[in-house]
């Protein structure tokens, strides 16, 4: 098996080609979104809603923000700014969009990351457990449970979790990212405080995703177990457990890594609703607020950033898959 | 000899049957129950008394001659008046002021709230049924739209020359990178909200997975013997696609359709929940959950029941999808691929 | 999870049932996850988000509250678009005089703030303020007349484009007489001179003049990093989308104020969570509580509700470009068909009043003779019959000339009370034979539709300011592109509104305003619905909380906790 560097290079080149074309497609969509946003009824920013502000004043503001230039010119300026790393100025928060993104992106990544960990951890555990007991009563029970959990709408699950575990039983905080005097706590307690606030929102996103992952893990593992190299390992007398772990799971990690990357898109979609329900200060909520306030620069930047996360996630997943796929490794 | 996992045929159809049964129950309930449970989803019964009533509450109702209606926890009939208990203060109404001038059924009535009421005294059960009709209709039409768009596009891409196919595939991947809810929100804010516009935007943002699936199927089957045989027999491209490739792609497409329905109904609810989908006062499961959000402490049932209905419907669609996958797409159960039909 | 027995898994072919490592791993993973959560929960006491300070009276006094909106900026000229920002900036910066909320009986009076006194010239075209000498910025630099003059220049600068710059139109110059005396020169004498001069916070010239006016809009965040303030509080922390923390300004000229050491506003866009946190003891106050929650909180002994008047009223605007809304008697009939008191009782549980005029009843210029039109569906039916409406086909809706009296009633979807009102109004109108179809629309789309007169009838609301200028709503010139949605036209009202604006004093405008209200009452371009109160829920040991119609946090410096000594 000459799984040589040449093979690796070919694969990497293919990956890069995929990434470039995906970026191209994203740029096209972003352009379309830019122009579509202008179809949004209403003027940007709430200032235009106040009847006491005279027309000349509104016109002056429009000029200052460049909103009265022809649309193609606005687009070119925006694109130029983006190339320089300047995402423009938020019309509702009155500060650079880049700053807002820098503040909110880590919070969303934190939430998505926690949800992803929960998804993978719980999903792997349940999936493997189900595979080990394929077709038993427990397996069927887990299947029904999985389908149930995975069908639950995340925003509703978040709301119910909040009602049950933050309101009825005050075990967790009803929203926000940290407690009032979090600043005065030491580092250790601050981390715990963060985890405590993270628990419910991450569960709302992660548990349904974990159920879906568990199904996928189960079928992947079972599939691998049917393959010749596993059979031969069994025939060589290795214990079932060892076979499961060293061969089947390792082989199955590649598609699982791919799943992780793809999950990112679903997770990020899920975060908007959860961030709004729990008041989590992340990109989803900022983008939603921007939509409500017709804050175009922030809206565009938020959408672009989310798409970038997703692309990065799937690219990463592809890389991982390549690295983990035993067919590309030396024997 | 490879091991064949012993999932028996009997077990394989259980999920499908369960899913179909659940779906049928839900659709039947939503379609038929309103004939029995005729209460209007918009009627507000005396919110001061009957607002945020627990599931299973019953109220005595008094109709006055001037057309207004009052609710009470209990009614005492005295000589010349009725006394309503449970109002902010005991309210006395002269019998002459009652509708119909007396104590007949026009004047005295009772109302039962099996699933409770919201803060404006509206019956949650009635709203659940009305909302269900809308939400299910939206899901159904959306899947139809997705199929109409994805099947031809997927087949076309799958049977196109490799360069075109690769390009389109990358484009689709790029498009799929956008989190669907962001796109939904943006589009929903532009258009005038309503069933048609929601169906359109759900369909236009959700067709890619099915298109990719169809494309993969068509592409995979292109070089099979039966296709080559048909081509050498002189069959045209379109004929091959329509008669040979597409029917084989229908099975995975059907599975995907079921999953897409689950996704559509949840997405519509999310959209309405965030304020951009179907608008109140018309009920939809999503905006009922939004309404219930503010009443979460005083009335968990307002948000719980529509959400549970939503979850059950999504479960039903997913069960059907899983069941279909068991039956029609054996690859996923680690058996060698079935021979083409 | 016992292996063996009924399982026919592929592993069982030749080996004993697996005590598989994966199963143990699975257990470990699950245990770790819940352990993590549980441990974190235990560490925090599992008892809700409790601020520590209220448990230990020895510490400086703190109050924690909630807000739906976040602060949108610290520079008033760039970011005065939302009420909460104005409320906070009121605590951070000083104005020359502070408008008092005592305008129930007479035009508002002004209390000294930065200026201790003022006097007029004989021709009333020059206004001189005498500034207090002990006012300093939070960095120790004294506040002088130079700050006042420079602030005026910024307020009227076209490059900064402050939204309310037109208020300063009549001011020709602001002259520095000496470091603590400043004179405003007006082009002419008119009613709201004092109000116009005083409007706007005084900004720190010595720091903020470093940025040229032309760059202000692009550098709004610079002001946040270079913030010096003069008010009773200073901005200690601002975490966008999370919290705004105010702390006592030790350099404030009144050493007795503020009484609280720290006030924390937690940003929680979901009003429902405010109530949750209040009930759980995590918050000390929350303004903007709904009437339904208000009723619930009022029964608790550890919380109280403070209801206060607003300057707001809600209404139905009838589009007079569409028949039959062009007929004032039909509009009158519509108002008679709507039971506004029932709406108020149901939707506000007593925390509102039926409205009758565009000047709310808690303002001095409200016409006290005006009574809201009664609820009289019988009279409404008579008027409709007189006008030729009858139900020929017995479908429950009246028609005239073959056209049924049916229309669409819109409002903004974000306002739950108005949305619920739509349904109730629909029901009430149905009883007189009018078919109204409710439709909720997102606020921006709604405003656009309304300004373009693309609606039948819409439910909305206005907040009136103390200049009592009704021109933007009822003057015929405000119909095109302005906020006179219904295109109401009345030449006499036009004349009266213009005369009111030109009146030399607010009292002199009163007869015109009274007459205007009477005409509007007769012609019903709006069906006036209600004047809602606002509610603050406050913890029992938080004293002296007196919100008013200028700001919910008007007397924030006087708030105190019962445990502390004053």
Q: How long a stretch of residues is chain C?
A: 566
Q: What single-letter DSSP state applies at residue A150?
A: H
Tell me the average pLDDT across B133-140.
92
Q: What is the rounded CA–CA span in Å between residue C110 and residue A227? A: 87
Query: Which stretches of chain A score pLDDT less than 70?
Result: 1-4, 22, 39-52, 228-234, 237-256, 258, 261-262, 265-266, 268-270, 321-331
Q: Is the previous residue joined to C135 through a cis bond, with omega within 30 degrees of 0?
A: no
CB-based contact B279 C8, cutoff 8 Å: no
CB of A213 within 8 A of CB of A119? yes
Residues on chain C touching B42 (C-beta within 8 angstroms): 423, 426-427
Contact (CB<8Å) A176/C268 = yes
Quote the mean pLDDT of chain B: 80
Note whether C359 and C513 are within 8 A (CB): yes
Tell me the sheet residues that pair with B83.
Answer: B76, B92
Interface with C, mutate which of A66, A196, A244 (most C CBs under 10 A): A196
So what's the pLDDT on residue A241?
64
Is residue B151 within 8 Å of residue B214, measured between CB atoms? Answer: yes
What average pLDDT score do residues B221-233 get?
Answer: 71
What is the three-class DSSP state of C176? Answer: strand
Of B66, B68, B189, the CB nearest to C442: B189
Per DSSP, the three-state class of C303 is strand
Of C448, C455, C496, nearest to C475 by C-alpha is C496
Place of tokens 């700050």: C147
What is the number of other CB atoms lying within 10 angstroms of the CB of residue B137? 14
Which residue carries 């807002």 as its tokens? A100
pLDDT at A45: 58
Say which residues have a Cβ less than 8 Å from residue C422's Cβ, sequence separation at least 6.
B281, C409, C411, C436, C438, C440, C459
For residue B279, the chain C residues in CB contact (below 8 A) are 413, 439-441
* Interface size, chain A vs chain C, as Cβ–Cβ contacts under 8 Å: 227
Please report where in the chains the tokens 């109404």 appear, as a residue.
Answer: B93
Locus of tokens 């503040």: A103
The count of residues in chain B is: 341
Q: Which two tokens stand for residue C219?
A: 């550098």
Residue B272 Cα distances to B199, B280, C432, angstroms: 13, 9, 33
| pLDDT of amino acid C37 | 52
Please check the confidence at residue B95 and state whether its pLDDT lies above 50: yes
* A300: nearest Cα among B185, B188, C448: B185
Q: What residues of chain B lie within 8 A of the CB of C8, using their CB?
A: 6
CA angle C68, C73, C78 (to 5 degrees): 125
Report the candidate in A175, A143, A171 with the shortest Cα–Cα distance to residue A159: A175
What is the pLDDT at residue B232? 73
Return the SS3 of C245: strand
Identify all chain A residues contacting B4, using CB atoms and an 8 Å cutoff: 226
Closest-CA distance of chain B to residue A257, Å:
17
Is the minimum CB–CB distance between C242 and chain A shorter than 8 Å? yes
Residue B48: which of C345, C427, C438 has the nearest Cβ? C345
Determine phi and psi for C142, rounding to 5 degrees.
-65, 150
Instruction: Give chain C's residues under pLDDT 70.
Output: 1-59, 563-566
Closest CA to B269 of B292, B281, B287, B257: B287
Minimal C-alpha gap between B323 and chain C (Å): 21
Asked whether C500 and C516 are in contact (CB, 8 A), the reply is yes
Read off the tokens for C216.
């202000």
Distance CA C234, CA C556 (A): 13
The continuous run of DSSP H or E covering B311 comes out as helix B301-328
Q: For residue C242, what are the CA distances in angstroms to A119, B20, C265?
A: 27, 46, 9
Among residues C402, C422, C403, the alpha carbon closest in space to that of C412 is found at C422
Check: CB of residue C502 under 8 Å from CB of residue C255. no
Average pLDDT over residues B118-124: 87
Neighbouring chains of C at 3+ CB pairs under 8 Å are A, B
Q: Does the N-terminal peptide bond of residue C324 adopt cis geometry, omega within 30 degrees of 0?
A: yes
Question: Who among B175, B310, B319 is closest to A147 (CB)?
Answer: B319
Pairing of strands C62-67, C285-287: parallel
Helix axes C340-348, C416-430, angle to 10 degrees: 140
CB-nearest partner of C414 from B275, B293, B296: B275
Burial class (CB in 10 A: 0-12, 13-18, 19+), A111: buried
DSSP, residue by residue, C248-288: E-TT-S-TT--S-SEEEEEE-S-HHHHHHHHHHTS-SEEES
Please give the Cα distance from A91 to A97 (Å, whole number).
Answer: 9
CA C337-C342-C344 angle, to 5 degrees, is: 115
What letters, b where the CB count within 10 A reaches 16 and e where it falls short, cover C302-332?
A: ebebbbbbbbbbbbbbbbbeeebbeebebbb
> Which ranges in chain A belong to alpha helices (H)?
5-37, 55-64, 71-83, 97-132, 137-151, 154-162, 187-225, 228-235, 240-242, 250-278, 283-292, 296-324
Q: Tell me which of B65-74, B157-166, C10-19, C117-126 is least confident.
A: C10-19
């Amino acid at each position: 098996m000459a799984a040589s560097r040449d093979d690796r290079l070919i694969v990497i080149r293919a990956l890069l080609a995929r990434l470039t074309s995906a970026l191209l497609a994203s740029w096209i969509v972003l352009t379309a979104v830019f122009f579509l946003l202008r179809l949004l009824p209403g003027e940007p920013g709430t200032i235009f809603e106040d009847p006491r502000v005279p027309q000349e004043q509104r016109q002056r503001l429009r000029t200052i923000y460049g909103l009265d230039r022809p649309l193609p010119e606005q687009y070119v300026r925006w694109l130029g700014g983006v190339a320089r790393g300047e995402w423009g100025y938020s019309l509702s928060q009155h500060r650079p969009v880049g700053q807002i993104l820098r503040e909110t992106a880590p919070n969303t990544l934190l939430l998505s990351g926690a949800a992803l960990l929960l998804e993978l951890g719980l999903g792997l555990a349940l999936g493997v457990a189900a595979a080990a007991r394929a077709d038993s009563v427990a397996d069927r029970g887990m299947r029904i449970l999985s389908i149930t959990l995975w069908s639950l709408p995340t925003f509703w699950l978040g709301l119910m979790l909040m009602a049950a575990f933050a309101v009825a039983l005050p075990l967790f905080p009803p929203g926000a990212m940290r407690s009032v005097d979090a600043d005065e706590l030491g580092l250790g307690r601050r981390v715990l405080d963060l985890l405590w606030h993270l628990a419910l929102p991450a569960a709302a996103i992660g548990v349904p995703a974990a159920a879906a992952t568990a199904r996928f893990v189960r079928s992947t593992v079972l599939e691998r177990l049917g393959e010749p190299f596993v059979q031969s390992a069994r025939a060589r007398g290795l214990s079932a457990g060892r076979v499961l772990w060293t061969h089947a799971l390792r082989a199955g990690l590649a598609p699982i890594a791919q799943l992780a990357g793809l999950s990112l898109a679903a997770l990020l979609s899920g975060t908007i609703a959860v961030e709004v329900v729990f008041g989590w200060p992340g990109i989803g909520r900022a983008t939603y607020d921007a939509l409500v306030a017709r804050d175009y620069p922030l809206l565009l930047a938020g959408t672009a950033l989310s798409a970038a996360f997703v692309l990065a996630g799937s690219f990463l997943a592809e890389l991982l898959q390549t690295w983990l796929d035993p067919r590309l490794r030396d024997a | 000899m490879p091991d064949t996992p012993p999932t028996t045929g009997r077990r394989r159809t259980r999920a499908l049957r369960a899913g179909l049964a659940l779906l049928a129950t839900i659709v039947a309930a939503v379609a038929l129950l309103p004939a029995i449970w005729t209460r209007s989803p918009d009627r507000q019964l005396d919110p001061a008394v009957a607002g945020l009533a627990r599931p299973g509450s019953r109220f005595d109702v008094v109709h006055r001659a001037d057309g207004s209606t009052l609710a009470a926890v209990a009614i005492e009939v005295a000589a010349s008046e009725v006394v309503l208990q449970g109002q902010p203060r005991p309210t006395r109404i002269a019998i002459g002021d009652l509708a119909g001038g007396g104590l007949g059924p026009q004047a005295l009535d009772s109302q039962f709230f099996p699933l409770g009421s919201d803060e404006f005294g509206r019956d949650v059960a009635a709203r659940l049924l009305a909302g269900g009709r809308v939400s299910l209709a939206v899901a159904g039409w959306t899947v139809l739209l997705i199929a109409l768009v994805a099947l031809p596009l997927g087949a076309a891409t799958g049977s196109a020359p490799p360069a075109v196919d690769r390009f389109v595939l990358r484009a689709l991947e790029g498009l799929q990178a956008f989190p669907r809810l962001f796109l939904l929100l943006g589009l929903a804010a532009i258009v005038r909200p309503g069933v048609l516009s929601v169906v359109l935007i759900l369909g236009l943002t959700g067709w890619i997975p099915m298109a990719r699936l169809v494309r993969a199927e068509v592409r995979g089957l292109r070089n099979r013997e039966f296709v080559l045989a048909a081509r050498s027999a002189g069959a045209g491209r379109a004929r091959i696609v329509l008669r040979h490739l597409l029917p084989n792609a229908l099975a995975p497409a059907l599975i995907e359709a079921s999953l897409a329905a689950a996704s559509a109904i949840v997405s519509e609810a999310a959209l309405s929940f965030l304020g951009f989908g179907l608008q109140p006062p018309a009920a939809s499961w999503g905006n009922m959950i939004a309404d219930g959000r503010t009443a979460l402490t005083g009335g968990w049932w307002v948000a719980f029941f529509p959400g549970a209905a939503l979850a059950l419907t999504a479960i039903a669609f997913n069960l059907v999808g899983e069941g279909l996958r068991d039956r029609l797409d054996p690859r996923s159960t680690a058996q060698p691929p079935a021979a083409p039909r | 999870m016992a292996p063996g027995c009924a399982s026919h898994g592929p592993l069982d072919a030749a080996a004993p049932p697996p005590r598989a490592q994966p199963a143990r791993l699975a257990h470990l993973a699950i245990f770790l996850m819940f352990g993590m959560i549980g441990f974190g929960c235990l560490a925090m006491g599992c008892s809700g988000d409790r601020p520590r300070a209220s448990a230990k009276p020895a510490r400086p006094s703190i109050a924690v509250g909630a807000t739906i909106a976040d602060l949108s900026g610290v520079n008033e000229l760039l970011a005065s678009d939302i009420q909460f920002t104005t409320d906070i900036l009121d605590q951070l910066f000083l104005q020359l005089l502070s408008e008092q909320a005592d305008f129930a009986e007479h035009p508002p009076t002004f209390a000294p703030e930065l200026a201790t006194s003022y006097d007029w010239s004989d021709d009333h075209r020059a206004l001189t303020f005498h500034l207090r000498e002990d006012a300093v910025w939070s960095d120790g630099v004294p506040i002088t007349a130079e700050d006042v003059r420079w602030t005026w220049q910024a307020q009227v600068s076209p490059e900064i484009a402050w939204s309310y710059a037109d208020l300063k139109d009549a001011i020709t110059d602001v002259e520095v007489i000496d470091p603590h005396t400043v004179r405003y020169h007006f082009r002419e004498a008119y009613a709201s001179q004092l109000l116009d001069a005083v409007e706007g916070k005084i900004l720190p010239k010595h720091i903020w003049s470093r940025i040229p006016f032309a760059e202000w809009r692009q550098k709004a965040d610079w002001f946040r990093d270079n913030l010096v303030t003069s008010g009773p509080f200073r901005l200690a922390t601002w975490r966008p989308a999370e919290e705004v923390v105010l702390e006592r300004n030790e350099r404030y000229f009144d050493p007795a104020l503020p009484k609280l050491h720290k006030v924390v506003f937690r940003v929680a866009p979901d009003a429902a969570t405010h109530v949750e946190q209040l009930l759980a003891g995590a918050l000390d106050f929350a303004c903007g509580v709904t009437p339904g929650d208000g009723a619930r909180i009022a029964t608790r002994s550890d919380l109280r509700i403070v209801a206060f008047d607003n300057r707001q009223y809600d209404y139905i605007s009838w589009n007079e470009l569409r028949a039959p809304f062009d007929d004032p008697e039909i509009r009158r009939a519509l108002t008679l068909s709507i039971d506004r008191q029932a709406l108020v009782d149901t939707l506000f549980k007593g925390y509102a009043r039926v409205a009758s005029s565009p000047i709310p009843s808690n303002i001095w210029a409200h016409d006290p003779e005006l009574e809201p039109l009664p609820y009289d569906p019988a009279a409404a039916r008579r008027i409709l019959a007189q006008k030729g409406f009858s139900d020929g086909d017995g479908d429950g809706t009246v028609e005239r000339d073959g056209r049924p009296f049916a229309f669409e009633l819109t409002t903004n979807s974000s306002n739950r009370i108005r949305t619920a009102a739509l349904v109730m109004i629909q029901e009430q109108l149905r009883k007189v034979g009018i078919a109204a179809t409710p439709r909720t629309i997102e606020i921006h789309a709604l405003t656009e539709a309304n300004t373009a007169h693309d609606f039948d009838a819409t439910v909305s609301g206005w907040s009136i300011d103390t200049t009592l200028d009704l021109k933007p709503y009822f003057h015929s010139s405000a119909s095109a592109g302005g906020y006179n949605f219904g295109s109401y036209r009345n030449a006499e009202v036009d004349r009266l509104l213009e005369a009111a604006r030109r009146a030399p004093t607010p009292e002199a405008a009163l007869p015109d305003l009274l007459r205007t209200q009477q005409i509007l009452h007769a012609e019903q371009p709006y069906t006036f619905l209600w004047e809602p109160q606002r509610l603050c829920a406050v913890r029992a040991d938080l004293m002296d909380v007196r919100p008013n119609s200028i700001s919910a946090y008007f007397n924030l410096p006087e708030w105190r906790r019962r445990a502390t000594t004053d």
